[in-house]
Chain A
Amino acid sequence: MKITDFRLDTYVMKMDRLVGDANLPDGTEMMPGAILRIGTDEGLEGISLGFGTGIAELFPAIEGCDPRDTVHLWKRIRDWLHKAGNEGMASLSFSAIDAALWDLKAKIAGVPLWQLLGGREGRVKAYASGLDYCLSDEDLFRFYRRMAERGVGAGKLKVGLDLKADMRRIGIMQEALSIASDKPELMIDANEYWSARHAIRWMARIEEKFDIVWVEEPAARHDYLGLRQVSDSIRASVASAENLKSLEQVSPLLANRSASILNLSANHSGVTGCRQIAQAAHGFGVSVSMMNCQANFMAHVAAALPNHTMMEVVDPGREHCLTFDNWIEDGHIVMGEAPGFGIGVREDVLAMLQADPPQGKGKFPFPRREGAGLYIVPPQPGEVPWATTQPEE
């Protein structure tokens, strides 16, 4: 079997709600989409979802090759990118190609990807993640309660700009999740807004009141010594790595025991790169957590990792032009028997989105907020729909 061609469809979608964090507290409801399809001489096609639009630059590295040799082809692209760097659009495109090839490989074998990768069952523990800095307290409760109604007893809240309000909202998340678990697992995510020392100070105050499972990106992604400092100074685990791209970039975190959890996605150099990092982490005794994605397609990869804890589910409505074969049940993402990632494309909806792009608030990617790592710029009047802490309080 040979790889013959590819088709890349880009589009813009409007989600069901805003998503935001400390860097973009007022949030965005708009998101770009890119569907990559890699074709073969036997008609089978591999699909991946992502942001990579530089496919044409990399396609010659795999054209004419057998799509089943996924890791071999991954190494060809990795080496191709060696000098220019596995960064930015090149990295996203590399990731998209690799993921589509794994989808194709599983389709050739006629099995869902979790099975091809050696998982025992198509089932992964889920945690709810609101990307919720832009949600009112009421919407926050509603989101976590809706997830809890599907058995999800773990949640992650965006924090960083207003300690007292953040703590109030951790309590709201805890209360909403309490119908699914006597002791909801609580995580928080500062998205690199704090410095290491700031994280240590505010985590001390948060941990007076809450038992936090992990704090995500409490300091800058590359500050492995700062992350180690935080790890050594708080009770919660430190999670990081979501903005890194490859094992080489993640390795300082492993070598310095900077994080106990690595947040991984298809953007870590594809399925191959993501699995490599997860396996390397396993060698170092570190766990991983799969990040949220459209149609939760990376649950297939998570299901076959030896050290996976739980996967992030956001569910903001990003599947307009997709069909998919998984659902949330008893707090888990459950995958069906459709081969590969189990993703299909609704061509009519895709064509409509391309012909008449929706309009709405905000855009990707999130910028970095003023003050990050230096000082706190609290939410400004009207920036967030929840009660911020006022000086007299």
Chain B
Amino acid sequence: MNEGPEALDLRVETVTIVPVEGNAEICRLLLGTNVGIVGMSLCDKATGLIAAKLGNSAIAGKDPRAAPALYHALHAADAAPPAIAALDIALWDAKSKTEGVPLWRTLGGSRGPWNVMRGDAKGQAIHVQLEGNLDQDLERIAAAQSAIARKIVEPVIALTFPANWNHPDDAAKVIAHAQAIERHFDIAFIELSLPLDSTGAHLAIGKVIRAALCNGRGFGRISDFRPALECRALDGYLLDVDALGLTGAMVVANAAAAYDLPVLLAPSMGNLALHLCGAMPNFAFAMWDGRLTASGTGRADQSQSVPGLDATLGDDPGIGLEGFS
């Protein structure tokens, strides 16, 4: 029989939020445990307040190593998805700190390098936010493409359509815009802002455009993705870890893998979503998040090589976001 070490009694004791210096919008969510390990995540202040309250009522006293089980229990109790996501990330952070390894290793993945997609010319893929005026949008794409084309033979171009094109009736507008753009550019991915259950609109758009249709940013319940999954209405899933949590993102990624569809990761606070890349069977690209790196310190402790062309994860335990700012 295998003799293990004494079973560790590990519990979350308190859930608190502390401000992030120099950034009024973002706070740290901290899960203090009885053994001194502190699980951490980053979220906006409003989410942090809800998450702390939820954490103190529903997570305190629980073992953070059960992160996925706690995640599913919180969703079963119908708590707010972004607050669950913030708790989930902090629980995973605590879990991998308990193992003394970076989160990517806890998840069984690898350090990379992973494809990142940026709004500027530093990645191998470019991501352009469109605003809906065709001439201006074409110029935006052209500018981004010419900046990257010097380094990459066939750059990957992903477009995010305007956030206010968010009604199923906007399908005709989406089609006209996408077709006009595809006359000039070879677009790999188009991210839509339609409701995720606009199956008819997704299928109608997908029939007449060439790019892979993606959606999912901001959606935080696994069940939100079911209508699209059941009808194969999308060609790729854009998973937003700040809404869906690490646990939920993994579930949806595996469901998308049933069709061999790619997963793109939406920008995540401090780019912590990169930890998931190696643990997903179908990771393609991660959208780079500049919110924390803008302060200058960024993920310097975490990422041994930041774009450039890709991102590589480091060896700090957990999500590795202790050291910024």
For residue A339, CB closer than 8 A to chain B, the reply is: yes
Asked if B254 CB lies within 8 Å of chain A CBs, one says yes
Pick the contact of B222 from A120, A250, A283 — CB < 8 Å? A283
CB-based contact B259/A69 at 8 Å = no
Indicate whether B153 reaches chain A with its CB closer than 8 angstroms: no
Majority-rule SS of B interface residues: helix
Chain B 33-71 per-residue mask, 1 if CB under 8 angstroms from chain A, else 0: 000000000000000000000000000001101111110
| Residue contact A247 to B257, C-beta cutoff 8 Å | yes
Quick check: is B226 within 8 A (CB to CB) of the other chain?
yes
Q: Complex Cα distance A117/B95, Å? A: 10
**Interchain Cβ contacts within 8 Å, total number:** 128
B33 to chain A, nearest CB (A): 15
Which of A119, A257, A275, A285 interacts with B66 by CB under 8 Å? A119
- Tell me whether B250 is interfacial, beta carbon within 8 Å: yes
B100 closest partner in A (C-beta): A109
* A68-B105, A68-B108 known; A283-B4 Cβ under 8 A: no
Evaluate contact between B72 and A306: CB separation under 8 angstroms. yes
Chain B residues with CB under 8 Å of chain A are 1-5, 7-8, 62-63, 65-70, 72-73, 95, 99, 101, 105, 107-110, 222-223, 225-226, 229-230, 232, 247, 250-252, 254-260, 278-279, 281
CB-based contact B108/A255 at 8 Å: no
**In the complex where A257-B230, A283-B222, A304-B68 touch, is A344 in contact with B2 (Cβ < 8 A)?**
yes
Given contacts A118-B68, A279-B255, A306-B68, contact A69 B108 (CB under 8 A): yes
Nearest CB of A to B186, in Å? 27
> Cβ of B69 and Cβ of A120 under 8 Å apart?
yes
Instruction: Decide if B68 touches A75 in the complex (CB within 8 Å).
Output: no
If the complex has contacts A110-B4, A111-B4, A248-B260, are A283 and B252 also in contact, measured as CB distance less than 8 A? yes
Could you tell me if A72 and B108 are in contact, using CB atoms closer than 8 angstroms?
Answer: yes
B5 to chain A, nearest CB (A): 5
**B278 adjacent to A304 (CB under 8 Å):** no
Q: Within 8 Å of chain B (Cβ to Cβ): is A10?
A: no
Closest partner residue, chain A, to B257 (CB atom): A247
Q: A69 CB to closest chain B CB, in angstroms?
A: 5
Task: Indicate whether A338 reaches chain B with its CB closer than 8 angstroms.
Answer: yes
Interface status of A160 (Cβ within 8 A of chain B)? no
Q: List 25 A-B contacts (CB under 8 A).
A: A66-B105, A69-B108, A70-B108, A72-B108, A74-B108, A105-B108, A109-B99, A111-B4, A111-B7, A118-B69, A248-B260, A255-B232, A255-B258, A277-B254, A279-B251, A280-B257, A282-B222, A282-B251, A283-B225, A283-B251, A284-B229, A284-B230, A285-B226, A337-B4, A344-B2
CB-contact partner of A71 in B70, B73, B101, B108, under 8 A: B108
Interfacial chain B residues near A339, Cβ < 8 Å: 2, 4
Does A332 belong to the interface (CB within 8 Å)? no
Q: A71-B109, A306-B251 are in contact. Are A284 and B258 (CB under 8 A)?
A: yes
CB neighbours (8 Å) of A134 from chain B are: none
* A292: interface (CB < 8 Å): no
Q: Which residues of A contact B95 (CB under 8 A)?
A: 118
